Amino acid sequence: MKRDLIGIEDLREEEIRAILERAMVYKRMRNENRMSSELRGKTVALVFEKPSTRTRVSFEAGIHEMGGRPIFLSSQELQLSRGETIADTARTLSRYVHCIIARVSSHPNLVELAKYSSVPVINALSPLQHPCQTLADLLTIQEYKRKLEGLKICWVGDGNNVCNSLMLACAMLGIHFSLACPKGYEPREEILGEAKTKAEAKGSGLEIHHDPRLAVEGADVVYTDVFVSMGMEGERERRLLDFKGFQVNSELLSHAKGDVIFMHCLPAHRGEEVTDEVMDGPRSVVFDQAENRLHAQKAVLAMLLG
């Protein structure tokens, strides 16, 4: 039976840990110039409605290094742009490829794509979740902190798709999650409710603050993202006003633990959500985090197509 990765909750706790373990194997192999062959003879479609640097390149490189063949399809190259239904697109692509990776503007459309596809569908970003980013984040945290359970991760900024996936994963894995955002920018109620339920079952902490200094107190990890996401350019002026005081700078980091690491899913708007001093400073792990997209996604592909 085919498996999809639409949201991080599609994975069980033990599957997340297995993916991280396998990702480390792929990372060691690559550092030793050894490639794997799990995708030999496999073709993978990358359906992208939104542009990307890290997501596209990490998936294409990963598929190639595992012996597979990636086929990139922008929205302009699909008949969706001329009125073909998502269901028909899914049914057709399923006859040609072994997996569909989709970066979409509508989460319900992604769900529909997965419903009618007979091959695995992987969420490479939707407005609701970004599970592949979260797996790379967890891999990075585990590398630097040597554990996950019992840590405190503080998210500073918008309760967006990246926040949603990370918050759910933390609840599942016994990681304390602290969110600092302006009022009105909290995660969506259904995601927040699910995270609270999972956190209670696991004994994980989940806090929401409107004062970033309170939120980062004692944090092992401080994480932020752009205040103005792709497609929200019309809200730029209002958002920058609303997020005044939420910038991750040296002063804010001083309220966290002394060995705190700073994370950002990139691209960063330097001078807005984060300063150059933090981005380029000794606590920053953002480029290791970006690299780990490659290794974590290889492990996801191996799990779903193995």
Task: Single out the catalytic residue among 137, 158, 220, 225.
Answer: 225
Give the Cβ contact number of residue 168 at 10 Å: 25
Task: Single out the catalytic residue among 265, 289, 295, 297.
Answer: 265
* 225 catalytic residue (yes or no): yes
Residue 114 near residue 121 (C-beta atoms within 8 A): yes
* 259 catalytic residue (yes or no): no
* 265 catalytic residue (yes or no): yes
Task: Single out the catalytic residue among 130, 176, 239, 295.
Answer: 130
SS3 state of residue 276: helix
206 strand-pairing partners: 177
Please give the DSSP secondary-structure letter assigned to residue 79: G
Residues 91-125 as b or e (16 or more Cβ within 10 Å = b)? eebbeebbbbbbbbeebebbbbbbebbebbbbbbb
Q: Is 154 exposed, middle or buried (0-12, 13-18, 19+ CB in 10 A)?
A: buried
Classify residue 37 as left (phi > 0), alpha (psi -120 to 50) or beta: alpha
Task: Single out the catalytic residue among 239, 293, 295, 297.
Answer: 293
Task: Single out the catalytic residue among 129, 133, 247, 289.
Answer: 133
Task: Single out the catalytic residue among 22, 54, 98, 103.
Answer: 103
* 103 catalytic residue (yes or no): yes
Residues belonging to the active site: 103, 130, 133, 225, 265, 293
